[in-house]
A and B are shown apart, each in its own frame.
With several copies, the nearest count.
Chain A
């Protein structure tokens, strides 16, 4: 994969493709 690829292990095993403008969206900063 190239340098632009996403990190292989986002910080949780369950990801939710929520709309970032939803109120309960929590941006977890790395």
Chain B
């Protein structure tokens, strides 16, 4: 029987765990990634996304927007796109 169709984790908490696992592997923390899977008792085979993975990419967007906020932009580095988005 062919394995069930590969699926994403589908819901919130499982999704976050999946992307944290992917993040750990992409930054080279292999032991942490394996320890994490065993501590949450996930005996799954997992297909990763492209490096650096969704959590890292999403965080970069979030952090850029966070730093571009009017009351923070003087203190933090941010992109002009994020500044434009905030001003818009």
**Residues in chain A within 8 A of chain B (CB atoms):** 1-2, 4-20, 25-30
Contact = CB atoms under 8 A, between A and B. Distances in A.
Contacts of A1: 27-29, 39-40
Q: Which DSSP category, helix, strand, loop or mixed, fits chain B's interface?
A: loop
B14 A16 contact: no
Contact of A15 (B7, B41, B66): B7
Interface of B: 3-11, 13-19, 21-22, 26-29, 39-49, 51-54, 56-57, 66-67, 72, 75-77
Given A2-B27, A17-B53, A28 B11 contact: yes
Nearest to B16: A6
Contacts of B7: 10-12, 14-16, 26, 28
Contacts of B13: 4-7
A10 to B, nearest CB: 4
